[in-house]
Amino acid sequence: MHLSVLGTQQRICGEAQVPNSKYHAHRALILASLAPGTSRITGLTDARHVHYTVAMLRRLGTRIDVDGGTYVVRGGPYVPTADSISAGSSGTTLYFMAGLAALGSRDVTVTGQKYFQRRPIGPLLTALRQMGVDVDSPTDCPPLRVRAHAPTGGEVHIAGTLSQWISGLLLLAPFATGPTTVVVDGTLNERTYLELTVQMMRQFGLQVEVHQDWHRFEIPPGQQAVPTDVRMPPDIGSAAFGLAAAALHPADLLLRGLTSVTAGGADHPEADFLDIAADMGLPMVYDAGSDAVRVRHDGVRLGPADIDCRLVPDMLPILSVMAACADGESVFRNVEHVRLKESDRVAAMLQLNSMGADVRISGSELRVRGPARLAGADLSSFNDHRVLMSLAVAASAAEGRSTLTYPNAYRISYPEFLEAMNSFGLSMQVEEGRALRRKSPGTRRGHRPAQLTARSIEESAALTGPGWVRRWARERPAETAVVDGRPRDTGHLTWAELDSGADRIAAMLLSLGVQPGDRVAFQLPNWSEFVLLTVAALRIGAVAAPLMPIFREREVAFALHRSRAAVVVVPEEFRGRHYAAELSGILAAGTGTDPGYDLAVRHVVVIGAAAPPLPVRERGVIWHGWEQELAETEVDRDLIDAAAPAPDAPAQLLFTSGTTGEPKGVLHRHSTLSRAAAMEAQQLELDGSDAVFVPSPLAHQTGFLYGMWLSFVLGAPQILQSVWEPERALTMLRGWKGTFVQAATPFLTDLVKAVEAGAAAPASLRIFVNTGAAVPRHLAERATRVLDTAVCGAFGTTETCLGSVSSPGDDPALVWGTDGRLLPGVRARIVSDEGQLLPAGIEGNFELLSPTLFEGYLDRPDLTKEAFTDDGWYRTGDLATLDDAGYLRITGRVRDVINRGGEKIPVAEIEQLLYRHPGVEDVALAAMPDPRLGERACAFVVPATGTDLTLAELIGYLDSYQVSKHYWPEHLELVQAIPRNPVGKVQKFLLRERARELAGDPPGKDRSQA
């Protein structure tokens, strides 16, 4: 069992009632029990260690009743009802009552929970004996044997380490038979707590004379406490956690009952916390109308603090958390006595280092310096309530998911803690929990994957994508399903939230007229809205038709024309591009769009629309605001369920480019996608304890199938990154404990470089499946060493899904530089141009037969027929070899496609556009090797007579046609003629050799071994 905390930078809002002071409650209850008559203590507390004090006093014969919100205490001589009285797990109860138990009418044994048997209290026992208390403990730890006998008084010496020991002596001294002098030796810590003890003793009619330096106390003998009515003030020690949460997040919080924002106006031993927090920059204002303190801001960066822990010792844990989120270095002085609390709290806070902070002990000081943002981690609470709550607050602002041991420790002092934090919008849950997968040596070498069974694959194929979501929403409703890692903030959805959110969007789509089989187009980044919308569209039998965010107007117009989508969803803006405005231009052009497309769009939904107010009608198209439309949508679950698709229904329409000069619409069914994800999961031994990191675009098959859909099949969280930043990726991998990534070579290269530059490697990452092109051998070796991660080669296409992948247990010497081994159930063959089967190791045309093949190209039966052989094998268009061990190596491409970082450039389409440039006589594009992206486009151009062409001019020309910049050539080579064979076909192999020379890569060199 653990406390699971999900970090966020989102705004927290709400209000909470600050509980009553447990410090006042302990002292008031004990003093009332010693005052013959009836005392009324108004202001109950649910703090468990106050309950332990009440329970012990009742065992000593004191009657304590609860009347509404008041303790009614009838005090008088102690008459123990049992031989043994327990302090439970309350150190305060133990320290205060160890001596007072001697005032009873019979001998008693003072005990506590099991771990109290290791808590040394020798200095307190020595001082009690000096006062004349007959107390025995062979180990100077509980249990204690206390004999019934009034103390005799005298001069008592005790170190000033812990105020509770001194308070225990002061509470007992008035009832001694002789005068008592309590002398504090050495440094006095925690004076404010002693001030409270003395103040409350005087309130109950007891005399205490305090010397000016608070090192000497003189107490007359034979006193009797007077019944008193006391009202408990708010507990600043509990309020500190709400205030700290408000400091770490944009906030609008109201803490009711907290009557002051300055130490001088608060009757509490920890009131100095308020001044420290204010000095660090936390904006707190007392709202008299609400009798509450309000914290409202859009995000603050705290300043460092210099704190003397003798004043606020119990505040060190939460203040150190605030310091870890502040600029500069904070210093906590005189921390030695804090190490003697319920745990060594100083050592406990060193765990902030595992979250990315810089915390160190230097003599009697604790120094804290924070990172830009903390990262999630697995932490120990040391079974200490303040450590647990403090680290939970830190985790709430960290990137990722954190876990804490002894999750219920908070109940001893602040039982409302979890309820308050969750009411603010933070996510803290006590879970039995399945721990996320960790790396182990067995996942590297010598460990074979589990045997793939036809039954398990078939069972997986029988569930649709939305069906998987429904399942996990039932079985794991509170577990994380989606992590939305936007650059400035991370949001997250549970399976229950994903399920219900998809229902609402499905209802919206139904209201817009979407029917089963319709295509819903959307051009979205890796946001949670992409996942929600996909599940929603598929849930009502529609087909998801995502468009790559890099697509410009030309590509988008064609995809909308071909898909016949009536509903389109776009963001208002992303990375400086205004997608809604671009789409408006496409729709305005209508059939005039070059080359002239017939569009069926009737509804456009805009995410994040600011103006004009939506919905509006424009040229027959109705524009809607995402947020407004969802807020007004009524969910009819029966209507949604009635439209649910069968597993063999179409699910996905992705547009890819080939050699035909136009994008092709690839259709896949639910069953195919679920089967493909399950096949990889079993090959790589992935399960629900993994966490899938998704930096590849969700609109690309890598992200859609082996990110999002794989997460559905596994019941594992998917961690989305919408803008590629290697350092941010590493932070998310560490914080959310990502175990699996499938992405192209540039992503792997950038992660390796970032770690080599000093960033921390993600400890949980087990597997990186490299797709798009064979990972270069030297990169695989380097990544395995630097990231401590298995790097697996793979081959797949939009049409086939994965056909091959190596496994973490495979011998690296055999797999690095290859495209893996065929998945069980997948067949491959290498054939000559004449269709003859070639032996192992001989290069030829690569053909594939797989249960995960696509249904065909949308509205292009000619292209579909061309893609398959007469006996049903898929022509990949690649040249390859297949060795005796079953390892595949792609050696070249038959089809003329340039692979730029896993994204295929539609060469023929770009060439056709460039041919139209008045300065171009002839043109051909070829792949130029690139160490990071794999390949870039090199344009070989024969310029028109008298024309002096530049690369910038060609790029500007393509930009005018709204061609995605990812498709622009990045090198221009002017030539006198394009090499062609006798029948006029461009000899691209000559151009590729020339491009390798231009890139400094000698022709004939095998780059996979580079």
Final residue before a domain boundary, out of 184, 214, 231: 231
Are both 216 and 364 inside the same structural domain? no
Q: What percent of the chain has pLDDT over 70?
A: 93
As a whole number, mean pLDDT of residues 140-144 equals 92
Confidence of residue 712 (pLDDT cuts 50, 70, 90): very high
Q: Answer yes or no: is pLDDT of 813 > 90.
A: no
pLDDT tens, position by position, 459-489 = 999 999 999 999 999 999 989 999 999 887 7
Confidence of residue 438 (pLDDT cuts 50, 70, 90): low
Are both 226 and 314 inside the same structural domain? no
Q: Is residue 10 part of a domain?
A: yes
**Better pLDDT: 777 or 538:** 538
Q: Is residue 297 part of a domain?
A: yes
pLDDT tens, position by position, 502-554 = 999 999 999 999 999 999 999 999 999 999 999 999 999 999 999 999 999 98
Are both 238 and 172 inside the same structural domain? no
* pLDDT value of residue 659: 40
Q: Is residue 623 part of a domain?
A: yes
Q: Is residue 848 part of a domain?
A: no
Q: Among candidates 766, 764, 762, which has minimal Cα distance to 686?
A: 766
Q: Answer yes or no: is pLDDT of 26 > 90.
A: yes
The angle subtended at Cα 950 by Cα 946 and Cα 951, nearest 5°, is 145
Are both 956 and 940 inside the same structural domain? yes
User: What interhelical angle do 465-475 and 495-511 show, nearest 10?
Assistant: 140
As a whole number, mean pLDDT of residues 328-341 equals 90
Q: Answer yes or no: is pLDDT of 56 > 50.
A: yes
**Residue 204 and residue 226 in contact, taking contact as beta carbons nearer than 8 Å:** yes
Q: Among candidates 690, 734, 741, 743, which has minimal Cα distance to 715?
A: 690
CA–CA distance, 37 with 60 (Å, rounded to integer): 16
Residue 509 DSSP SS3: helix
Are both 99 and 214 inside the same structural domain? yes
Q: Is residue 127 part of a domain?
A: yes
Structural Rg of the chain based on CA atoms: 36
State the CATH number of the domain containing residue 805: 3.40.50.12780
As a whole number, mean pLDDT of residues 582-606 equals 80
As a whole number, mean pLDDT of residues 255-260 equals 85
Final residue before a domain boundary, out of 431, 451, 485: 431
Annotated binding-site members for phosphoenolpyruvate: 22, 91, 119, 164, 345, 386
pLDDT tens, position by position, 80-125 = 999 999 999 888 999 999 999 999 999 999 998 877 777 889 999 9
Q: Answer yes or no: is pLDDT of 663 > 60.
A: yes
State the CATH number of the domain containing residue 958: 3.30.300.30
Residue 624 CA to its chain's centroid (Å):
31
The alpha helices in 790-857, defined as continuous H runs, are 812-815
Q: Is residue 842 part of a domain?
A: no
Are both 224 and 297 inside the same structural domain? no
As a whole number, mean pLDDT of residues 218-246 equals 95
CA–CA distance, 513 with 509 (Å, rounded to integer): 7
**Better pLDDT: 447 or 178:** 178
Annotated binding-site members for 3-phosphoshikimate: 22, 27, 163-164, 314, 341
**Better pLDDT: 659 or 50:** 50
Terminal-to-terminal C-alpha distance of the chain: 49
Beta 650-657 vs 663-669: how paired, if at all?
A: antiparallel
- Taking CA atoms, 277 is separated from 13, 21, 249, 320, 329, in Å, by 19, 19, 14, 11, 15
Q: Among candidates 76, 146, 137, 141, which has minimal Cα distance to 106?
A: 146
Does residue 314 have an active-site annotation? yes
Q: Answer yes or no: is pLDDT of 337 > 90.
A: no
Residue 620 DSSP SS3: coil
Q: Answer yes or no: is pLDDT of 614 > 80.
A: no
**Residue 200 and residue 28 in contact, taking contact as beta carbons nearer than 8 Å:** yes
Residue 481 DSSP SS3: strand
Q: What percent of the chain has pLDDT over 90?
A: 73
As a whole number, mean pLDDT of residues 595-619 equals 79
pLDDT tens, position by position, 863-899 = 999 999 999 999 998 888 998 888 898 876 676 668 8
Final residue before a domain boundary, out of 231, 259, 290: 231
User: What interhelical angle do 465-475 and 670-684 show, nearest 10?
Assistant: 60
* pLDDT value of residue 777: 77
Global pTM?
0.79
Q: Answer yes or no: is pLDDT of 296 > 90.
A: yes
Beta strands in 103-153 (DSSP E): 108-111, 135-136, 144-146
State the CATH number of the domain containing residue 166: 3.65.10.10
- Give me 154's structure tokens: 């005298």
Q: Is residue 513 part of a domain?
A: yes
Are both 491 and 502 inside the same structural domain? yes
Which of the following is catalytic: 272, 314, 499, 930?
314
DSSP class of residue 72? E
- Taking CA atoms, 930 is separated from 184, 493, 745, in Å, by 74, 38, 11
Q: Answer yes or no: is pLDDT of 572 > 80.
A: yes
CA–CA distance, 779 with 416 (Å, rounded to integer): 52
Annotated binding-site members: 22, 27, 91, 119, 163-164, 314, 341, 345, 386
CA–CA distance, 533 with 535 (Å, rounded to integer): 5
Are both 226 and 286 inside the same structural domain? no
Residue 326 DSSP SS3: strand
Are both 156 and 245 inside the same structural domain? no
DSSP class of residue 704? I
- Taking CA atoms, 686 is separated from 84, 227, 816, in Å, by 54, 67, 21
* pLDDT value of residue 447: 37
- What is the identity of the amino acid at 952? A
In the 3-class helix/strand/coil scheme, how is 13-32 assigned residue by residue? EEEEECCECHHHHHHHHHHH
* pLDDT value of residue 515: 96
User: What mean pLDDT value characterizes the chain?
Assistant: 90
pLDDT tens, position by position, 637-661 = 999 999 999 999 999 999 985 444 5
Are both 28 and 11 inside the same structural domain? no
Q: Answer yes or no: is pLDDT of 157 > 80.
A: yes
Confidence of residue 435 (pLDDT cuts 50, 70, 90): low
As a whole number, mean pLDDT of residues 482-497 equals 89
Q: Answer yes or no: is pLDDT of 264 > 70.
A: no
Name every residue whose Cβ is closer than 8 Å to that of residue 395 and which is 6 or more positions away in sequence: 5, 7, 355, 374, 376, 377, 379, 402, 404
Q: Is residue 845 part of a domain?
A: no
**Residue appearing with tokens 């439209």:** 643
* pLDDT value of residue 597: 77
As a whole number, mean pLDDT of residues 25-48 equals 95
Confidence of residue 1008 (pLDDT cuts 50, 70, 90): very low
Q: Answer yes or no: is pLDDT of 790 > 60.
A: yes
Are both 816 and 918 inside the same structural domain? no
Q: Provide DSSP, 331-399.
A: EEE--GGGGGSSS-HHHHGGGGGGGT-EEEEETTEEEEE--SS-B--EE--TT-HHHHHHHHHHHHTSB
State how many domains the chain has: 4
Which domain, by its residues, includes 50?
22-231
**280-284, 316-320, 942-946, range with the lowest pLDDT:** 942-946
Are both 130 and 241 inside the same structural domain? no
Q: Among candidates 705, 707, 739, which has minimal Cα distance to 720?
A: 707
As a whole number, mean pLDDT of residues 403-425 equals 94
